[in-house]
Amino acid sequence: MSENIFIDDVQVAFDLEALGRKLKVRARSSAKMDKLLSDMADEAQAIARPRAAARLSALTPGEEEDQVRLGQTLLTSPLLKEKLSGLGRAFPYLATEGEELASWGRAYEGIERVLANALQNAAMAMARQRLEEAILAKYGLDQISAMNPGSLRVWPITEQEPLFQLLAPLPEQLGVALLPTFMMKPEQTVSGIFFQTDTKFHNCQLCPQKDCPSRQAPYTAAG
C-alpha cells in the first residue's frame, strides 16, 4: 500500500490582521510598520509557491516495543507508537514554503527579516493545511492529527533521516533537502506523520515552552 498526494497549487492569501497580532506589530509600532508588512506581503504573494506532499503508507509493528514500521521503514518513538496503535495506515508528509519564497526572504535583515520569516511560515502553513484537507477528502476521514520529529524529546530530530528515506523521492520533487544537522532547507519546511484520530492531538500539548507564537494547544503534560 503506497500512494502519493501532491499539492502545488496553493492560492496564497495572507491574513495580515492575524499576522500583526502574532507579531505584536500594533503593540510596538505604527502605521508605517503596518504598511511595511502589507507591502512585503504583496511581494511574497506574487512569488510564493508553497507545496506539500504525503504518502499513504501501510503501518505494522516494529521489532522493538518503541518502534513502528511504515512501509519498509522503521521509526522509533514510544509516543509515536502509542498514537499509531491500532491503525493500519498513516501519512508521512512534508510541507514547504518553496525555494522561491526562501530566496526572497534571504534578502532581508533586521525587522524586515522577522516579517519575511512570518510570511514564509504562513505560506508553508497554507500548503500544510491544503494537504491535510486533501487527505481528509480523499480517504473519507473525519479528523487527523500529526506528530513531527524534533518537536518533542520522545521523537528526536534524528528521526528525520528514516522519515526522509520513507518519503523518497518526494523531498527532491518538493525541492526540500535534509541537512547534516537534520534541519531542512528551505528553512520554513515541516515534516511529520498524519494519522487518523478520534481526539485531536497537537505536539504543543506536551511542550512546556512558554510564549511560543506557533502554539496550537495548551500545555497539559511533561514531554
**Each residue's pLDDT expressed in tens, for the chain with a length of 223 residues:** 569 999 999 999 999 988 988 887 654 557 888 899 999 999 999 999 999 999 999 999 888 889 999 999 999 999 999 999 999 999 999 999 999 999 999 999 999 999 999 999 999 999 999 999 999 999 999 999 999 999 888 899 999 999 999 999 999 999 999 999 999 999 999 999 999 998 765 454 444 445 544 534 443 554 4
Distance CA 154, CA 131 (A): 25
CATH placement of domain 2-206: 3.40.109.40
Distance CA 146, CA 129 (A): 12
Vertex 222, ends 216 and 223: CA angle to 5°? 75
What's the Rg (C-alpha) of the chain? Answer: 18
pTM of the model: 0.87
CA atoms within 13 A on the CB side of 118: 24
